[in-house]
Amino acid sequence: MTSAPALRLDGVTYTYPGAASPAVDGVAFDLPRGASMALLGPNGAGKSTLLDLLLRWKTPSSGRIELAGRPLESHARTELGRAVSLVPQGEVARFAFTLREYVLFGRAPHVAALAMPGPDDEAAADAALRDVGLAALSDRDVGTLSGGERQLLLLARAMAQQTPLMLLDEPTSALDPANTARVARILRTLRDRGTTLLWTTHDPSFAAAEATHAALLRAGRLLAAGPADEVLSADALTALYGTPLKTLRHEGRTLVYAP
């Protein structure tokens, strides 16, 4: 049981209703526990759809997903909420909640159906706000945040959920370099605490720097998956994006660029 990977995908296929071809087509890979996996692919490759399948927001047309050694569909709804968290890409704050109230929503799977969050939940929310560096803004209205702060807020909410697996949908898109570095630091902290991470990105250099593992998705099909330094080769990335790309080693880091 403990040796089972955090996630195991086997022949996972999903076709949107009325679509001619599947958006995700026979995808199979393992996500080892404690890994930080980057999911790369061009726009429309099926990355977001794959995240939806892993969240059970969508159900695969065929194939099998195992979460911690058990079929995904065998997990009860709240149990799944305690096992997998999501950092969505952008989210509109519709009412003027404070940051603390907003992060507390991540505690929902830990709060019984008709109960209110308790002191433990408040503490977890406050700790998450401290971890992302927003503690000083706890009582502010979420509508007043900048784009970078909002991304950190969504991260904090997922952290308050305290799940062993966290899915992140383009956590660094639309962030300036300082905020990107901040998110990278938080991801490393999470991994140090034993959280398994799966995140999508359009930045191969960021993936090469931060991911332990990588998976390449093109037109719904998996081109490669495995340890990042094996998968993120110039040839593989060129095939993935359909444009010539080269890699450069500099100060121990791999940079990906278009020549």
Partner 1 sequence: MRGRGGLWILLAALPFLALLAVSLGRYPQAGFVPVGHLADDVLLRTILIEVRLPRVLLALLAGGVLAGAGFVFQMVFANPLVEPGFLGVSQGAALGAAAVIVAYGWAPAGVQAAAAGGAMLGLGATCALARRFRFGGWILRLVLAGMAVSAVAGAGLAFVKLVAEPTRDLQDITFWMMGGLWNASFPALASVVPAALGSLAVLWAMRWRLNVLSLNDRTAHSVGLSPRRDKTVLLVAAAVGTASVVSVCGLVGWVGLLVPHLARALYGADARRALPASILLGAALVLACDTVARTVLPGEIPLGLLTSLFGAVGFAVMVSRRPPLRGGGGDA
Report the interface residues with partner 1, using CB under 8 A: 52, 55-57, 77-82, 84-86, 88, 91-98, 101, 105-106, 108-109, 111, 113-117, 143, 161
- DSSP count for the chain of H helices, then E strands: 9, 12
Nearest to 29 by CA among 2, 14, 10: 10
Q: Which is nearer to partner 1, 1 or 115 (CB)?
A: 115
| Dist. CA 14–CA 11, nearest whole Å | 10
- Which residue, 119 or 177, is less far from partner 1 as judged by CB? 119
Q: What is the dihedral of CA 172, 178, 37, 105, to 10 degrees?
A: -60
What tokens were used for 233? 């080769």
Q: Nearer Cβ to partner 1, position 60 or 81?
A: 81
Tell me whether residue 20 or residue 113 sits nearer to partner 1 (CB atom): 113
Joined together, the tokens standing for residue 12 give 């996972």
Tokens 């061009």 map to which residue? 42
Q: How far apart are CB 85 and partner 1 at their closest, in Å?
A: 7
Least distance in angstroms from the C-beta of 200 to partner 1: 15
Q: Do the beta carbons of residue 207 and residue 201 sit within 8 Å? A: yes
Instruction: Provide the phi-psi class of 209: left if phi over 0, else alpha when psi is between -120 and 50, else beta.
Output: alpha
- Residue 224 has a CB neighbour count (10 Å cut-off) of 19
The amino acid at 161: Q
Cβ proximity to partner 1: between 153 and 208 the closer is 153
Task: Work out the number of other CB atoms within 10 angstroms of the CB of residue 198.
Answer: 24
Q: In the bound complex, what is the minimum distance in angstroms from residue 71's beta carbon to partner 1?
A: 18
User: Least distance from C-beta 88 to partner 1, angstroms?
Assistant: 6
How open is the CA angle 25-62-202, to the nearest 5 degrees? Answer: 35
Nearer to partner 1 by C-beta: 20 or 92? 92
> Closest distance between partner 1 and the C-beta of residue 164, in Å?
14
Least CB distance from residue 25 to partner 1, whole Å? 22
Question: Rounded to the nearest whole angstrom, what is the least distance from the CB of residue 105 to partner 1 in the complex?
Answer: 5
Nearer to partner 1, 112 or 178 (CB): 112
